Amino acid sequence: MAVWWWLVDALVVLVGVLALIVVCLLVRRRLLARLGRGTFDMSTNRRDGTAPKGWALGVAVYRSTRLEWYRTFSLSWRPRYRFTRSTLVIDGRRDPVGAEVYAVHAGHVIVPCDSPAGVRQLALHPRALTGLLAWLESSPPGQSVNNVL
């Protein structure tokens, strides 16, 4: 009989810990949204091609000279990737195909890119892509912009 009570107690603790983690993720997301002047959903992939492997969901936040990307399912307060205006190169856009549709947010387009961070593709909403391109092109005088669309 004592074993069952131990299992019930362990299950209650496990559910409590999982609920706490979910609450922490939601609070982190909310605070990240308030930190930046512009925050939007953006997925990243370090692979080329149309396979659904490698996609990571996240949130991008504009800073003055860089775009910081945070994983959605992480408790870290540090960005996973930092993209600077002068080094991020956008090379076209396409719609997700096949199983890739389920690996990114609904309605997002995929943008092949080149960056020192090693990210090969971004997935973001078309309006967010317009904002990203405007941000890249509004770099200060003297900085090169190497985007093709």
| Structural domains of the chain, with CATH | 36-137 (2.30.29.30)
Question: Residue 94: what pLDDT?
Answer: 94
* pTM of the predicted model as reported, rounded to 2 decimal places: 0.75
Q: Which helix (H) or strand (E) holds 128?
A: helix 126-137
- Ranges of the chain with pLDDT below 70: 1, 24-25, 27-37, 141-149
- For the chain, the 3-state helix, strand and coil shares in percent, each to the nearest 5, are 35, 25, 40
Tokens of 6: 């131990």
